Structure 1
Amino acid sequence: MIDRAWDLPELTPDRRDAGLIRVPVEQDVPFTRRVRALVDTVEFQRLQYISQLGLVQRVYPGASHSRFEHALGVYHNAARYLSHLRLDERFVSICTPKDAELLLVAALLHDLGHWPFCHPIEDMALANIPDHEEFAREYLLGDGELNKVLRTVWDIDPHDVLDLLVAHSDNPSRQLLRSILSGPIDIDKMDYLNRDSLHCGVPYGRNFDRNRLISSLIINEAGDGVAITSKGKTAAEMMVFARYVMFSEVYWHHAVRSATTMFARAFFELRERIDLDGFFRDRESTSIEKLRDTGRDTVTEPLLEGIFGPRRMLFKRVAEFAAVQDGELFDALAHRPYRELRELTNQLQQELLGSTSDESIQLLIDAPPPRREVEFRVDLYFAKENRYRPLSTVSPVIEALATRQFDDYVKKVRLFAHPDVADSISQPRLEQAIRSLSSR
């Protein structure tokens, strides 16, 4: 029997207080008065105007969904996780109903600090560029509408929400909640794999059994994270495979990476001429126009117009190196700081094309940033043995696709060139130039 203290309105949609809001595909998301109060704040409403996938839309036209929609989906997953876990004696011995409310709020607000094209910009790890967590801190702790709603409507200290988003404490309940919000089998991945796949028009991220995974959730042996029962093994393997294929075919699709690399170079060159605080707070459409205006009559104009202008013109892929097949060339370019990679790009352009980037930017290198993917680590519980075992030790799928770094298989080094010069770059000469420059 469920303790009546766990009878939260978001977990009991038959209550009068719990309305519904519909998000694709046919999800009835519990929409209580206190959830509505958060959603209606100025700070949350801005997420309607920031796309979830940014430049992916230049390749997959349907990928125009917003972080607003995604946030509602993540919150819905939090409610589903909690509806299951509140039946687990170990979970309710660690977490209280107030902790559950904190998770619901953090799930809804987990992307609060994101700005337009946040991930490509953060991947460059540039000085004087704040990370999106700093913006989340400002929105949560500032004297704004959101702060007031959290305190007066939810009776939640905004510092506690921030602690889930950016860890400061290490008590078991907070660690457990964080593993639900951001872990191997978390409510964020559970939503974005499905939602991104839907809007991109591909099946890859939707081919795993979300209901089976949720119903198999338990608490790990240490009590600081989630695990799954053996019944969820296949569903977990399919989730890992879905993530692998979505990275391969969508997030790191070569044309998506061409657009991303063009954007990154243009932003790098123009960043000191832009009001960055305004850029990060604006709607995505406004930020794009400010960037295009700033780039007029500069070497970045063809890059920005090729992405955002009336005629789409992405740089063409002229070479591709994977860590496994092309280790030497991959290692020569991968995981370098962005400034160093830019300098190497300029030298390579001069070597191959006889032009400098001051004249025009004709060559770009796209390489995995220094930050690498986190391995997929989750325990599997075998009830008959009363034993937890790492999923990677009993699953060939996890061993092949997750315990080895994603970068080695999906995040390839690619070289892109302006369409006018792409055909003039020969592979042997390109490889020789890379070896020569990287050895200096």
Structure 2
Amino acid sequence: MLPELNSLYQTGSLIRIPPAQDVPISPRIRRLIDTAPMRRLASISQLGMVSLVYPGATHSRLEHSLGVYDNAIRVLGRFAHDDAFTSIVDPKMAEAFVLSALLHDVGHWPFCHPIEDMRIQGLAEHEQRIGDWIRQSELAECIDQDWSCDTDDLIGLLCPPKPSSDQATSAGQHFLATCLSGPIDVDKLDYLQRDSLHAGVPYGRNFDAGRLISSLCVHPETGSLAIGDKGRTAAEMMVFSRYIMFSEVYWHHSVRAATAMLQRCVFLLQHRLDLESTLRMTDDDWIANLRRAAEGSVAEPLAQGLFGPRRLLYKRAAEFNAIDGDQVHDRLARKPYWWLVALAERLAEQLSRRTGLVIHPVDVLIDAPPAKLEVDINIDVVGRDAVVRTLGDVSPVTSALAQRQFDNHVKRVRVFLRNDLRDRTCEKLSVGDLTYVMMETIQNLESELI
């Protein structure tokens, strides 16, 4: 039994995190938590722009990492006497799983998710930086001294090779990787509840995580993570919780206005910022660096509106979803960020001409679902009759969400205008007029780029 599992079942050292959660800590886990890379996560916000709308959502990535680690050892405890699990997962793999859960966010940098969505050339995603963060820090020494696995074992779980790769993946590695990233995983089990708690909303806490963990099993055919029939209701509630959290928190229109402002600011300043040199900063240092870079530029009002003494967010002028506004949504969802900027600049010109208002290119922002899709939500359920069905097949509650693209329902296309321009523009143009101008501008831009 791993020392961390001993700590789970016996009285020992604990770290308490919200909500009244006791996380068992072994000596070797404590040594990792006290390293500089992990301590840096205490100064990086889990939710970034969300706190501008939900003021309590200021919790750190360190808190979240501890929650994911706690879930990981509870999952190992669930499978400790499961023959299907112990036949494919050895102690070395189990150690790599514990480490991966604790260190999975160590490559994160301030506001990295919205900036990664921009797909800036030469800027690798945070998952691809985890190996360097570990190997070039004291974390490598801690792992070498205290653990039987190595950094490559961690990376194999956090960034598993694609099916087309020549690199072989063992059955145990495949299963543990799906426990870290999949329809139901130790990461989502934590962030949905933790983000909901700190945002002050009930949506992400309306499912039974303990029941889900107790129902986990090894898929009899694919070897991935699955759930037993007794966990079906808890899984249904988790799927719906995730849907509502995206709709009402992560993609709340004001959160996305702030996100769009940050993205355009970074886009305008990317050559001044030297983003690569900012990746090891804390939130406060990164914000100070952005504000310095923005001084005297067209991006300064954006930076000031987000991080200055007064919150001045752009306002929503139009919104298009995958049902009512499908013509616009389908044309803009997953478009490259530079393309959305070009469209916003041309739309500013058209709106200025049609309304007689002075509307500058930076006064218009377009937010659309990014290229990267959310993970599938349709987990397999192993019934009491040993027949495997997808959750969408056995649950009328989740079938619509499972069978259609999740992103298209929770992520909308929105047009934002500078806060003092929105009302004046909407007085002169109806929503129908604005939609017409949008479609015309999209068609013109598409023709120019053919």
Which TM-score band applies after superposition, normalised by the shorter structure? over 0.9
What does residue 361 of structure 1 align with? 362
In structure 1, C-alpha distance between the alignment counterparts of 2:270 and 2:253, rounded to whole Å: 25
1:223 positional shift: 5.1
Post-superposition Cα deviations, 1:39-96, rounded to whole Å, max 9, x if no partner, equal: 1111211111110000101100000000000000000000111101112110011101
Asked if the contact 2:347–2:438 (Cα under 8 Å) also holds between the matched residues in 1, the reply is yes
The one-letter code of the counterpart of 1:431 is T
The one-letter code of the counterpart of 2:365 is L
1:401 positional shift: 2.0
What does residue 393 of structure 1 align with? 393
Unpaired runs of 5+ residues, structure 1, are 1-6
What does residue 376 of structure 1 align with? 377
Normalising by the residue count of structure 1, what TM-score does the alignment of the two structures yield? Answer: 0.95
Indicate which of 13, 31, 55 corresponds to 1:61: 55
1:322 positional shift: 0.4
What does residue 406 of structure 1 align with? 406
- Give the stretch that moved more between structures: 283-292 or 130-139: 130-139
Alignment partner of 2:316: what SS? Answer: strand
Over 3 Å counting, the alpha-carbon distance change for 1:286 and 1:241 in structure 2 is same
Unpaired runs of 5+ residues, structure 2, are 162-167, 445-450
Asked if the contact 1:255–1:314 (Cα under 8 Å) also holds between the matched residues in 2, the reply is yes
In structure 2, C-alpha distance between the alignment counterparts of 1:396 and 1:294, rounded to whole Å: 51
Over 3 Å counting, the alpha-carbon distance change for 1:261 and 1:16 in structure 2 is same
Asked if the contact 1:220–1:227 (Cα under 8 Å) also holds between the matched residues in 2, the reply is yes
Post-superposition Cα deviations, 1:24-52, rounded to whole Å, max 9, x if no partner, equal: 11111111100011111112111111100
Q: Report 1:170-189 matches (<5 A).
A: 170-189=169-188
Q: Once superposed, which parts of structure 1, at least 4 consecutive aligned residues long, lie more than 3 Å away?
A: 14-18, 354-360
1:71 equivalent in alignment to 2:72: no
What does residue 166 of structure 1 align with? 159
Asked if the contact 1:140–1:158 (Cα under 8 Å) also holds between the matched residues in 2, the reply is yes
Asked if the contact 2:351–2:359 (Cα under 8 Å) also holds between the matched residues in 1, the reply is no
In structure 2, C-alpha distance between the alignment counterparts of 1:291 and 1:209, rounded to whole Å: 41
The one-letter code of the counterpart of 2:88 is I
In structure 2, C-alpha distance between the alignment counterparts of 1:151 and 1:357, rounded to whole Å: 62
In structure 2, C-alpha distance between the alignment counterparts of 1:338 and 1:357, rounded to whole Å: 25
Asked if the contact 1:50–1:116 (Cα under 8 Å) also holds between the matched residues in 2, the reply is yes
1:14 positional shift: 6.8
Over 3 Å counting, the alpha-carbon distance change for 1:357 and 1:38 in structure 2 is farther
Over 3 Å counting, the alpha-carbon distance change for 1:387 and 1:360 in structure 2 is closer
1:243 equivalent in alignment to 2:242: yes
In structure 1, C-alpha distance between the alignment counterparts of 2:8 and 2:375, rounded to whole Å: 39
What does residue 21 of structure 1 align with? 15
Alignment partner of 1:74: what SS? Answer: helix
What does residue 327 of structure 2 align with? 328
In structure 1, C-alpha distance between the alignment counterparts of 2:325 and 2:9, rounded to whole Å: 59
In structure 2, C-alpha distance between the alignment counterparts of 1:409 and 1:386, rounded to whole Å: 33
Alignment partner of 1:13: what SS? Answer: helix
- Give the stretch that moved more between structures: 411-420 or 392-401: 392-401
1:278 positional shift: 2.5
Post-superposition Cα deviations, 1:235-266, rounded to whole Å, max 9, x if no partner, equal: 00000000000000000000000000000000
Post-superposition Cα deviations, 1:339-379, rounded to whole Å, max 9, x if no partner, equal: 11100100000100249999562111111112222321321
What does residue 4 of structure 1 align with? none
In structure 2, C-alpha distance between the alignment counterparts of 1:314 and 1:230, rounded to whole Å: 46
1:435 equivalent in alignment to 2:439: yes
The one-letter code of the counterpart of 2:379 is V
1:279 positional shift: 1.3
Asked if the contact 1:9–1:18 (Cα under 8 Å) also holds between the matched residues in 2, the reply is no
In structure 1, C-alpha distance between the alignment counterparts of 2:351 and 2:397, rounded to whole Å: 42
In structure 2, C-alpha distance between the alignment counterparts of 1:155 and 1:88, rounded to whole Å: 22
Over 3 Å counting, the alpha-carbon distance change for 1:286 and 1:358 in structure 2 is farther
Asked if the contact 1:376–1:403 (Cα under 8 Å) also holds between the matched residues in 2, the reply is no
In structure 2, C-alpha distance between the alignment counterparts of 1:123 and 1:156, rounded to whole Å: 32
Alignment partner of 1:439: what SS? Answer: helix
The one-letter code of the counterpart of 1:429 is D
Over 3 Å counting, the alpha-carbon distance change for 1:356 and 1:17 in structure 2 is farther
Asked if the contact 2:123–2:276 (Cα under 8 Å) also holds between the matched residues in 1, the reply is no
